[in-house]
Amino acid sequence: MAEISIRNVAKRFGDFTALDSIDLTVADREFMVLLGASGCGKTTLLRIIAGLETPSEGEVWIGSRRVDHLPPRQRGIAMVFQNYAVFPHLTVFENIAFGLRMQKLPEAEIKRRVGRTAELMHIGQLLKRYSGQLSGGQRQRVAVARAMAMEPDVILMDEPLSNLDALLRLEMRAELKGVLAESKTTTIYVTHDQVEAMSLADRIAVMDKGRIVQAERPIEVYRNPAARFVGSFIGNPPMNFLPARKADNGAWRVAGVTFEGPASERDEIAFAIRPEDLAPADDGLPAEVRVVEPLGPHMLVTCDVEGQLFRAVLDSDIDLSRGDLLRLAPAPERIRWFDPETEQSLRMH
Amino acid sequence: MTAVTATEAARPAADIRSRGRLVFVTVIVILCVWVLVPIYLLAINAFSSPDQVNAFPKSFVPGFETDNINFFLGFAGVGKALFNSILVAGITMVLSILLGAPAGYALSRFDFHGKDTFRVLVLMTRAFPLPLLALPLAVMFIRTGLDDTAFGLALVHTTLALPFAVLITFSLFSGIPVELEEAAWTLGCTRFQAFYKVVLPLILPGIAASAVFAFVISWNEVFAAAVLTIENRTLTAFLLQSLDVSPLHLKFAGGAVLVAPALIFIFVVRRYLFAMWGIANR
Amino acid sequence: MEQRVLPYLLLLPATLFLCVFFIYPFLLVAWQAFSEGGSFTLEHFQTMAGHWKFSTAFWNTMLLALAVVPVQIALALLMATLVTRMGSGRDLILYIWTIPLGISDLAAGIIWLAIFEQTGFLNSMLAGLGIIEQPITWLSYQNKSTIFLAVVLAEIWRATAIVLVILVAGMGLIPKEYYEAAEVFGAGPWKRFVRITLPMLRPSLQTALILRTILAFEVFAVVMALGGTNLPVLMGETYVWQFDLQDRNVAAAYALVILGISIAFTLVFLRTLRVPREAQP
């Protein structure tokens, strides 16, 4: 039973606030991904959970223990590092056995666990090698095996796939998901890669400027961004935003087209729609085509709508070229609205 | 016009290149000769009999006699001086690593107030003629009973070697990723265990190299050794003292004994010389 | 908590050591030079400056540094440039060229004594070539200029290696792309050396200059081996006052003079070769 609970954690380096009162609970056996751009504080948060940094404020609980004053070795965690941190002076076997030896387990048990995790990560034939004789992917496998062999309550992963090349990353991603689902540990995984986050996570915590902006299931984060930042950060291409001006009887005018929208005190709010939720239609938003990029299954069309950059993912059968005028209609149930000041999502009543 | 010059230039280009190659190799060979020949000449003198050393004109081939060296090594006081040199250099080596390595580690792993002050203190030692320290310390040592002891001299030599030890170990520790240590912590190590099990094995060859470096600094030092020792002379102090009185062949034998370990030391640390200076410079 | 205290704990031994054996002795030596029986005096400096050997020693030391250091820098630059263009055999050549690094100044003096002494190899060679009949006494007090030359050669031979090491290390830090870019823009080898190598090498040149100049002011054992007291230098005079004349205060005054010129030159090099902060990579 290892629920992780982070309570009001803050971290300051001098004048710089890296983390600003973070509250987050990760359920037992949950796979939580911390997602954000570099410098958003996600790695700092992970390192605070690991015990590699001390928080300036707040508490960290793992299971029923408060751990923020404990050194890493007493927290019941295992960690996989971005640069693998495979010990170069030890064989693969000794690397995986390292933590087990620290626990003074009997030799037979060490052999059994190393053998099993090595098998699991498909590195059984590499046990006698040294780090220098391994490829990047193999080192990554050793690093994961070393963490898994500890049979920890919690596994922490800091951008473990970011140093692999694209193809290998895809392969390792699928494998990690399988292995970690099997192991039934609680996992916290840091990445800046949204695809990785979407594919692995039970829940994604999107971070920005030292705060958690939204922590929900991947599809929820994608469909219903809690803030403008989430919409613009997640999705490739990201969400489109257009200014919406207040019209009569609670409706909003966007580029000359009227939409039903949320109630707001303000005269102008932001209208948002994902590029793939647009389709050509006579009553749509007027757009002038700037760039057409055929991508195979569909095509990415970059347009100008009332002077704003606006992207649409359209069926590749449509014949378009630069300068064409067309009308793009948003799917009504996919339209989202944001407050321009707070940048928070405005829900329809 | 341009076409003509182009074809004209094309032919000598190959010549120039091969001529350049020749000059390149010649200069390298000359520089090697410049470095090696004086050592060879000392070797001739060291391995000739006293008669051969004082003969004129002299042979450019050694007589392959070990009389000189044997006589030198058997000369009154030489054995003791040799022992003192090794003892002082040994103590210097141990002291400078024991004091320097923790400081190098702290500089490479922590951010803290006063870090820059310490670095300035270390770098400042470079701007001072350190052997002069021997003068005031001579007085201090007489008061504390450290005068004319190997340990007292080793303390002065440690002042010479310590800044190097700090900078070298700093660069060595900086070369070990912090993540390796952190990984060890998460795998159940205390800070000390992580250092002992992960950092130390990786750093040991480098530490050995900087220890050798400290040894050489002490082994070669003349001024402080001559000032601080009277009865317990080191080899350099002994040689300096007997420069005016001892015959030529003895000086040369002594010089050879002084040089021989240096050749080996530089060979041992050669891989680290450049890495050490590259980082210590910044 | 441990995190806060640990670095200081680790620095403590080295700091204490340097305070006791570096800072304190220098205060002590200054006090020795400026005091007599507990009160301030300039008497020792007057004794020092009044002695006939002082100005000779001072100028000999200066001239030696001036003759030695520039040649060393130029020679080391040449060697370092050659090394960077070397393919196979680079390690062997570097090892050979750095051998003198491990050789003490005393040993270097003795080595060059083997060449310049009366029955030495220089005379033997000249006689062998039929140029001279009788050996020449190069190192007697009548031949001060040849003593000077011998010391210069011995110093260049011995201590160019340290400059070489610093410069080779510094050149290793210059990214290759700069040279390739310069070549693409049409810069020849000499232009590349002047426009890229030298400016990028400035921090290393600064370190080498400071280190070598200070060591040149400390020249001692080479001179003792080759010239005895025929070529007085500051460090040698310090030694003479300490031992032969048994006057610690004047020796301390000498030490302060050496210290003074060392610091002065260090500051000059720090200023003139400073790399502006904005231009640092």
Query: Ranked by mean pLDDT, which of A93-107, B54-68, B261-275, C142-156 comes out on top?
Result: A93-107
Query: Within this chain, do residues B219 and B172 fall inside the same structural domain, yes or no?
Result: yes
Contacts of B110 in chain C (CB under 8 A): 3, 6-7
Check B182 against A72: CB less than 8 A apart: yes
Helix (H) / strand (E) containing B214? helix B200-220
Pairing outcome for strands A251-254 and A65-66? unpaired
- A234 touches A320 (CB < 8 A): no
Contacts of B189 in chain A (CB under 8 A): 73, 102
**Residues paired with A294 in a beta bridge:** A299
Q: Note whether residue B64 is domain-resident.
A: no
For B126-160, how does the pLDDT look when each residue is reduced to its tens digit (9 = 90+)? Answer: 767 777 788 888 888 888 888 888 899 999 999 98
Chains B & C: contacts with CB separation below 8 Å: 271
Contacts of B142 in chain C (CB under 8 A): none
Q: Note whether residue B149 is domain-resident.
A: yes
Query: Within this chain, do residues B16 and B125 fall inside the same structural domain, yes or no?
Result: no
For C237-265, how does the pLDDT look when each residue is reduced to its tens digit (9 = 90+)? Answer: 888 888 788 788 888 888 889 988 988 88
Query: Within this chain, do residues B100 and B218 fall inside the same structural domain, yes or no?
Result: yes
Q: What is the structure's pLDDT at B282? A: 43
| Mean pLDDT calculated for residue range B78-95 | 91
Residues 143-162 (C) with a CB less than 8 A from some CB of B: 157
Domain A238-346 has CATH 3.90.79.10: no
Q: Note whether residue B165 is domain-resident.
A: yes
Judged by a CB distance cut-off of 8 A, whether residue B121 touches chain A is no
Give CATH for domain A4-231: 3.40.50.300
Mutate to test the interface with B, among C5, C121, C167 (most CBs of B within 10 A): C121
Q: Which of C103, C112, C228, C140 is nearest to C122 (CA)?
A: C112
Q: C36: helix, coil or strand?
A: strand
Q: Note whether residue B61 is domain-resident.
A: no
B57 DSSP 8-state letter: S
Considering only alpha carbons, which residue of chain C is nearest residue B260?
Answer: C103
Considering only alpha carbons, which residue of chain B is nearest residue C117?
Answer: B248
Residues 60-119 (C) with a CB less than 8 A from some CB of B: 78-79, 82, 85-86, 91, 93-107, 110-115, 117-119
C-alpha span between C114 and A63 (Å, rounded): 79
What is the CB neighbour count within 10 angstroms for residue A283? 8
Judged by a CB distance cut-off of 8 A, whether residue A231 touches chain B is no
How many angstroms separate the CA of residue A77 from the nearest CA in chain B? 7
Edge-to-edge strand ranges of the sheet holding A308-315? A308-315, A298-305, A278-294, A325-330
Q: What is the structure's pLDDT at C229? A: 78
Contacts of B202 in chain A (CB under 8 A): 88-89
Output the average pLDDT for chain B: 82
Judged by a CB distance cut-off of 8 A, whether residue A91 touches chain B is no
Residue C28's pLDDT band (cuts 50, 70, 90): confident
For B153-203, how does the pLDDT look when each residue is reduced to its tens digit (9 = 90+)? Answer: 999 999 989 988 898 888 889 889 999 999 999 999 999 999 999 999 999
Query: Within this chain, do residues B20 and B149 fall inside the same structural domain, yes or no?
Result: no
C-alpha span between C137 and C105 (Å, rounded): 22
Residue B6 has pLDDT above 60, yes or no: no
Q: What is the structure's pLDDT at C73? A: 94
Residue C276 has pLDDT above 80, yes or no: no
How many angstroms separate the CA of residue B202 from the nearest CA in chain C? 20
C-alpha span between A103 and A97 (Å, rounded): 10
Contacts of B35 in chain C (CB under 8 A): 96-97, 99-100, 157
Chains A & B: contacts with CB separation below 8 Å: 59
Residue B4's pLDDT band (cuts 50, 70, 90): very low
Q: Compute the Cα dihedral for A68, A71, A74, A80 and give only its sign.
A: positive
Residue B30's domain spans which residues? 2-46
C-alpha span between C86 and C96 (Å, rounded): 14
Query: What's the token pair of residue C263?
Result: 């610091």
Judged by a CB distance cut-off of 8 A, whether residue A105 touches chain B is no
Is the backbone peptide bond immediately before B57 cis, with ω within 30 degrees of 0?
yes
Q: C248: helix, coil or strand?
A: helix
Query: Within this chain, do residues B186 and B143 fall inside the same structural domain, yes or no?
Result: yes
The residue with greater pLDDT, A95 or B118, is A95
How many angstroms separate the CA of residue B80 from the nearest CA in chain C? 19
> Could you say which of C91, C96, C169 has the minimum Cβ distance to residue B35?
C96
For A18, phi then psi, to 5°, come to -85, -35
Any alpha helices (H) in chain C, and if so which ranges?
Answer: 2-18, 24-34, 43-50, 52-84, 90-98, 105-116, 121-128, 144-172, 176-184, 189-192, 198-200, 202-217, 221-227, 234-243, 248-272
> Could you say which of B177, B179, B185 has the minimum Cβ distance to residue A71?
B185
C-alpha span between B242 and B251 (Å, rounded): 8
Is the backbone peptide bond immediately before A237 cis, with ω within 30 degrees of 0?
yes
Contacts of A150 in chain B (CB under 8 A): 187
How many angstroms separate the CA of residue A83 from the nearest CA in chain B? 8
3-class SS letters over chain A: CCCEEEEEEEEEECCEEEEEEEEEEECCCCEEEEECCCCCCHHHHHHHHHCCCCCCEEEEEECCEECCCCCHHHCCEEEECCCCCCCCCCEHHHHHHHHHHHCCCCHHHHHHHHHHHHHHCCCHHHCCCEHHHCCHHHHHHHHHHHHHHCCCCEEEEECCCCCCCHHHHHHHHHHHHHHHHHHCCEEEEEECCHHHHHHHCCEEEEEECCEEEEEECHHHHHHCCCEHHHHHHCCCCCCEEEEEEECHHHEEEECCEEEECCCCCCCEEEEEECHHHEEEEEEEEEEEEEEEEECCCEEEEEEEECCEEEEEEEECCCCCCCCCEEEEEECHHHCEEECCCCCEEECCC
Query: Within this chain, do residues B120 and B40 fall inside the same structural domain, yes or no?
Result: no
Q: What is the structure's pLDDT at A62? A: 93
Q: Note whether residue B146 is domain-resident.
A: yes
List the Cα angle B191/B211/B272 in 5-degree steps: 90
Residue C68's pLDDT band (cuts 50, 70, 90): very high
Residue A215 has pLDDT above 90, yes or no: yes
> Could you say which of A77, A81, A89 has the minimum Cβ distance to residue B201?
A89
User: How many distinct helices (H) and strands (E) make up chain B?
Assistant: 13, 0
C-alpha span between B53 and B62 (Å, rounded): 10
C-alpha span between B51 and B34 (Å, rounded): 27
Q: What is the structure's pLDDT at A188? A: 95
Considering only alpha carbons, which residue of chain B is nearest residue C204?
Answer: B281
**C195-201: long-range contacts, CB 8 A cutoff, minimum separation 24:** C197/C81, C197/C171, C200/C174, C201/C167, C201/C170, C201/C171, C201/C174
Contacts of C220 in chain B (CB under 8 A): 131, 222-223
Mutate to test the interface with B, among A47, A86, A89 (most CBs of B within 10 A): A89
Judged by a CB distance cut-off of 8 A, whether residue A259 touches chain B is no
Residue B1's pLDDT band (cuts 50, 70, 90): very low
C-alpha span between B99 and B135 (Å, rounded): 23
Tokens 């900078």 correspond to B167
Considering only alpha carbons, which residue of chain A is nearest residue B201?
Answer: A89
C-alpha span between B38 and A89 (Å, rounded): 43
Residues 30-69 (A) with a CB less than 8 A from some CB of B: 50-52
C-alpha span between C219 and C64 (Å, rounded): 9
Residue A5 has pLDDT above 90, yes or no: yes
Residues 191-220 (C) with a CB less than 8 A from some CB of B: 203-204, 207, 210-211, 214, 217-218, 220
Check C259 against B129: CB less than 8 A apart: yes
> Could you say which of B177, B180, B185 has the minimum Cβ distance to residue A72?
B185
Considering only alpha carbons, which residue of chain A is nearest residue B180?
Answer: A85
Judged by a CB distance cut-off of 8 A, whether residue C21 touches chain B is yes
Query: Within this chain, do residues B146 and B228 fall inside the same structural domain, yes or no?
Result: yes
Q: What is the structure's pLDDT at C266? A: 86
Query: Within this chain, do residues B42 and B100 fall inside the same structural domain, yes or no?
Result: no
Q: Which of A224, A177, A185, A184 is nearest to A201 (CA)?
A: A177
C-alpha span between B57 and C135 (Å, rounded): 8
Check C26 against B133: CB less than 8 A apart: yes
C-alpha span between C251 and C237 (Å, rounded): 8
- Tell me whether residue A186 is exposed, middle or buried, using C-beta atoms within 10 angstroms of its C-beta: 0 to 12, 13 to 18, 19 or more: buried
For A21-57, how does the pLDDT look when each residue is reduced to its tens digit (9 = 90+)? Answer: 899 999 999 999 999 998 899 999 999 999 999 999 9
Output the average pLDDT for chain A: 91
C-alpha span between A53 and A151 (Å, rounded): 23
How many angstroms separate the CA of residue B112 from the nearest CA in chain A? 12
> Could you say which of C21, C93, C102 has the minimum Cβ distance to residue B159?
C21
For B217-261, how does the pLDDT look when each residue is reduced to its tens digit (9 = 90+)? Answer: 899 888 889 888 888 888 888 888 877 777 777 788 888 888 888
| Mean pLDDT calculated for residue range C201-230 | 86
Q: Domain count for chain B, please give it.
A: 2
What is the CB neighbour count within 10 angstroms for residue B178? 16
- A330 touches A284 (CB < 8 A): yes
> pTM for the complete prediction?
0.83
List the Cα angle C42/C47/C50 in 5-degree steps: 115
Contacts of C210 in chain B (CB under 8 A): 126-127
C-alpha span between A62 and B104 (Å, rounded): 36
Check B273 against C238: CB less than 8 A apart: no
How many angstroms separate the CA of residue C36 from the nearest CA in chain B? 15
Q: B282: helix, coil or strand?
A: coil
Check C114 against B125: CB less than 8 A apart: no
Check A85 against B190: CB less than 8 A apart: no
Judged by a CB distance cut-off of 8 A, whether residue C181 touches chain B is no
Check C78 against B27: CB less than 8 A apart: yes
C-alpha span between A331 and A277 (Å, rounded): 6
Query: Within this chain, do residues B91 and B179 fall inside the same structural domain, yes or no?
Result: yes
Q: Note whether residue B39 is domain-resident.
A: yes
**How far, rounded to the nearest angstrom, does the alpha carbon of residue B217 sit from its chain's CA centroid?**
5
Judged by a CB distance cut-off of 8 A, whether residue C260 touches chain B is no
Residue B9 has pLDDT above 70, yes or no: no
Q: Which residues contact A84 (CB under 8 A, 6 or more apart)?
A: A136, A139, A140, A142, A143, A163
C39 DSSP 8-state letter: E
- A3 touches A186 (CB < 8 A): yes
Helix (H) / strand (E) containing B111? none
Contacts of C207 in chain B (CB under 8 A): 281
User: What is the ipTM metric for this complex?
Assistant: 0.85
CA-based diameter of chain B, in Å?
87
Q: Give partners of B (≥3 CB pairs < 8 A).
A: A, C
Q: Note whether residue B57 is domain-resident.
A: no
**Residues paired with A287 in a beta bridge:** A326
The residue with greater pLDDT, B229 or C70, is C70
Residue B8 has pLDDT above 60, yes or no: no
Query: Within this chain, do residues B168 and B76 fall inside the same structural domain, yes or no?
Result: yes
Judged by a CB distance cut-off of 8 A, whether residue C1 touches chain B is no
Q: Give partners of A (≥3 CB pairs < 8 A).
A: B
